[in-house]
Amino acid sequence: MVSGLENSVIKVAAIGGSIRKASYSNGLIRAAIELSKESIAGMEIEHLDISQLPMQNIDLEGEDHEGSFPPAVEDLRQKILESDCILFSSPEFNYSVSAPLKNAIDWASRPPNVWADKAAAIISASAGMGGARGQLHLRQIGVFIDLHFINKPEFFLNVFQPPAKFDSQGNLIDENTKERLKEVLLALQAFTWRLKTATNA
């Protein structure tokens, strides 16, 4: 913990890359919210809904294309701007991030870029390598939009490897996975404090 910020509350904007009802990605976010309330002091996580975003289209920004956005987009951008850091949770599609997540990233990166200079972490739940290749691509995207990702601990979850990780509603039920998730949240919290201290120095 960084000296002088012990009583600060870190506001986390959590974004799930899947919009299906029983999404594992959203299940991880729900579990993260529960963990933050139960055992991580000084952290508040808000799950941002990206299901209502229109497809990114400059024509929807108004005639001047200078900062006039559809209501759902403006709401997303404002919540990201007000947050201290970002938690991405996404499946892997075709070695990359999901279409809904990429759409949200593109909308929020429109000038002025509201991602800029924020700490971020990635968690993923998918088949095979657990979303590792999608995470790599998201890190590449993060370079251009000026995000600062934590490097450790890494969190890749193969959802089909025993024991069962989720119930039929997509809720995380595996205790070992919850502990791994908590480690990511604590690392994100500490890294965010460090960035805020450096910025305010």
Which residue type occupies 200? N
**Residue 152: HSE in the Cβ half-sphere, 13 Å Cα cutoff:** 0
pLDDT in tens, 17-48: 999 989 999 999 999 999 999 999 999 999 99
pLDDT in tens, 2-23: 445 556 899 999 999 999 989 9
Q: What is the pTM of this model?
A: 0.93
**Quick one: pLDDT band at residue 199, thresholds 50, 70, 90?**
confident
pLDDT in tens, 121-168: 999 999 889 899 999 999 999 999 999 999 999 999 999 999 999 999
pLDDT in tens, 49-80: 999 999 999 989 977 666 689 999 999 999 99
Ramachandran angles phi, psi of 166, nearest 5°: -130, 155
In 3D, which of 114, 117, 126, 128 has the Cα closest to residue 27?
Answer: 126
In this structure, what DSSP letter does residue 59 have? G
